[in-house]
Amino acid sequence: MEINLVVLNVGNSRVAIGVFVAGNLEYVARVSQEHRQDWRGRIGDAFSRVKGRPSVGVAAASVNPPLNELIEHIVKEQTNCRTEWVGKDIELPIKVLTEEPEQTGVDRILNVAAAYEQMGKACVVVDAGTAITVDCCNDKGEFLGGAIAPGVNMMLEALHEKTAKLPRVELAVPTGAFGQSTQQAMLHGVYHGIRGMVKELTENYATALGYWPEIIATGGDAQRLFEDWELIHAVSPDLALYGIALAYSAYQAKQKT
């Protein structure tokens, strides 16, 4: 992917910004919605890293449509470029075999596309963000579908908000076999519950495929949840950014033919 590109991944909690220079991801920033006043400066700074290079573009993907117009305005203001959206202006980079492909989250598809580009075979992507998704593709790189569950913070907040006495707890790796305090018991439930879900789902996918697929983890909580777990092939925090760049690169190649 010999491209000069600013990529934006608009999520439920934050915007991830990446810069590909001559095809290499050389800069990444993540800015929460609570700090959206910083988006202009971060997007402008990102664009400055490719400004003046040939065929510079801006590509984006979003699971948060209410923010798209604002993002487009900021991009135009800071870069004088038009935002090209994956799934709207740019075709998805892989075939989607779900019942309603247009309703399948573009972030899920791009994660799997990027993982398949790296692995070249059937694989599973677990994205541990606001929600947790566990999705699978086959050896042809076709998106088969997957599962969606509450993310870490959603689980912990629900325990606090929907009960009388459970405290607010931040994610940490629990210690020991038993949760010997209320906080540790909550962490054990969420941490091991998520890992158990990933294992169970992947076993189901392996049964359907007829072989065990490699698992790639991404998302803001992936490092703490899955680091050094023998079930995980790799933790790749920037997977969606690579997926956007992959879709853009394929789109550009088609435009030239």
d(CA 59, CA 8) in angstroms, rounded, equals 6
Residue 130, number of CB atoms within 10 A of its CB? 19
CA quadruple 5, 19, 13, 11: dihedral sign: positive
Tell me the helices (H) and strands (E) count for the chain, helix number first.
7, 10
Q: Which amino acid is at 175?
A: T
Is residue 239 classed as helix, strand or coil in its secondary structure? helix
Distance, in Å, from the CA atom of 57 to the CA atom of 83, rounded to the nearest integer, reads: 8
CA distance 139 to 213: 9
CA distance 230 to 99: 33
Q: Is 189 helix (H, G, I), strand (E, B) or coil?
A: helix
> Side by side, which strands form the sheet with 14-21?
24-32, 14-21, 4-10, 56-62, 83-85
Amino acid (1-letter code) at residue 208: A
Sign (positive or negative) of CA dihedral 150, 152, 158, 163:
positive
> Which residues are known catalytic residues?
107
List strand residue ranges (DSSP E) for 56-181, in order: 56-62, 83-85, 123-128, 131-137, 143-150
